[in-house]
Amino acid sequence: MTRNAAVVGSPISHSLSPVLHRAAYKALGLDWVYWGLEVNVEQLPGFVDRLDDSWVGLSLTMPLKEAVLDLANDVSWAARVTRSANTLLLPHRAALNTDVDGIVIALRRAGFSAETGFTATIAGAGATARSAVAALHELGAGQIDILARRPEAAGPAVHTAEQIGIDLQVHDFSDVARLDADVVIATVPSGVADTLAANAPVSPGWLLDVVYSPWPTLLAQKWSSRGGSIVSGLEMLLAQAERQVELMTGRPAPTDAMRAALPSTHP
């Protein structure tokens, strides 16, 4: 039987998940099909109910990462504490969050290492920020600051930190002094973090910017010019997809083949 998997969300045309998963299947010699399907929150329950036994899993993008939790029979620790799942394994409907893995692996592959208790700042307060909280906890952070455009909207991220048991403080997005941390993760959409670039620390630490096109971002350019280490969101995207491939196929992800399939985002 030919197996099926897909990335679902709305909009979906921009997703690179089909590129990554199809490259993985080819390298693994699997006659599987990976789709990119437009599905909104209202359509998701019926869509999942109609999937037959040929389906092995779904990758979920916004706005489905929270909605899918209501359809799951099993929710992983990371998905539970972040209230966000980007993976649904079928047919038993296990919801997982491999964005957390993506952040951890991307930073470690780039060479990030720090003693337990390091400081961290997250720019943004949405679903990706919650995944960043969990990832920073796994990496050993002792304190996290969040820069939020709307501090009142950071409640879910605070809840994630409380469940994990890590100290987190919320600040206005303009509190640029918080950029002077061991590691900064920018989780805001393209262009939003540009306002922070002029205030990059004199001696910056590490920066992971989830934006990967265009790359480097203005913030990453300034960070690098001052001697800081930068990691593209493309590395996070690759790493989270590798974990999805492993979960869906039960085999090690072919990292080199998946990386080679990614388009160049450099100017």
Q: For 147-201, how does the pLDDT look when each residue is reduced to its tens digit (9 = 90+)?
A: 999 999 999 999 999 999 999 999 999 999 999 999 999 999 999 999 999 999 9
pLDDT digits (tens, 9 = 90+) for 78-134: 999 999 999 999 999 999 999 999 999 999 999 999 999 999 999 999 999 999 999
d(CA 174, CA 157): 18
d(CA 89, CA 245): 11
d(CA 80, CA 185): 21
The residues spanned by each domain of the chain are 4-97+239-257, 101-234
12-20 mean pLDDT: 95
pLDDT digits (tens, 9 = 90+) for 23-60: 999 999 999 999 999 999 999 999 999 999 999 999 99
Q: What residues contact residue 230 under an 8 Å CB cut-off, 6+ apart?
A: 206, 207, 208, 209, 216, 220, 223, 224
SS3 159: helix
- Catalytic sites, residue numbers: 65
Model confidence band, residue 266 (pLDDT cutoffs 50, 70, 90): very low
Instruction: Tell me what pLDDT residue 264 has.
Output: 75
The mean predicted confidence, pLDDT, of the chain is 96
Structure tokens belonging to residue 154: 């950071």
Structure tokens belonging to residue 217: 């971002």
Instruction: Tell me what pLDDT residue 1 has.
Output: 81
Instruction: Tell me what pLDDT residue 163 has.
Output: 96
d(CA 211, CA 136): 18
CATH class of 4-97+239-257: alpha beta
267 pLDDT above the threshold of 60: no
* Amino acid residing at 142: G
CATH class of 101-234: alpha beta
> What order of strands is seen across the sheet that includes strand 167-172?
167-172, 141-148, 118-123, 183-186, 206-209, 229-232
Strand partners, 146: 122, 170
| Same fold? 4-97+239-257, 101-234 | yes
Instruction: Tell me what pLDDT residue 265 has.
Output: 55
